[in-house]
Amino acid sequence: MLEQCGFGKFSQVYKGYHKPTKVDVAIKIIDKDKLDEIESSFLSTELAIIKILEHPHIVELIDVYEDAHKIFIVTEFVTGGELFHYLENKKFLPEDEAALVIYQILATLKYIHECGIIHWDLKPENILVEVENEWVKNIRITDFGLSKLLTPGEVCNDMCGTLSYVAPEVLMQ
C-alpha cells in the first residue's frame, strides 16, 4: 500500500519507489474526470513549465503517465515535507537557518523569473524542505499549477493565488 503524503482539490500525492533507480519518488495522481476545461488548461501549463525548469531548488520532474481517467506525475521525493509544517513544528528558526531558507527561495525565484515564469502561488505549503540534523538543508519549490509563462515585454495584471496569502492591495486592484 502506498503512503499518502499530501492531497489537493483534484489530486492525492503518494510516496512511491522507482524500481530502476531504487529511489523514493512522489506520485501525484490527478483525477481527470474532476477537472473542468480551465483546470485542465492550468494542468497543461503546469506540466509544460515543470518540464522546462531545471534548478536545484525546484522539485525535479521524473515522468508523467496518463490513462483514460488519471494523470500520474512522478517527481523526486523530498523527505522533510512542507515548509509550513516544518515551521509549525519548530516554532523558531535561528537567524542563519532562516537566512539560508530565504536565500534559496529568492535565488530560485530569480531563476524562475529569468525564465519568464510567474509562480503565482508561492506559499509555505508549496515549498518542500530537505532536513538534515533538524536543520533545513535545501528547499524545493513545487506546485506550478497557477504559473504563467510570459512573453518578453508582456505585462500581467491578473489576480491569482491562494486568497489567504494574497496582499490586500492586489485584492483591491
Active site residues: 121
What DSSP assignment string belongs to 33-72? GG--HHHHHHHHHHHHHHHH---TTBPPEEEEEE-SSEEE
CA angle 161, 78, 80 (to 5 degrees): 90
Rg, C-alpha atoms of the chain? 17
Please name the residues in contact with 161: beta carbons below 8 A apart, sequence gap of 6 or more. Answer: 120, 121, 123, 146, 170
Q: Specify the residue for cell string 481517467.
A: 69
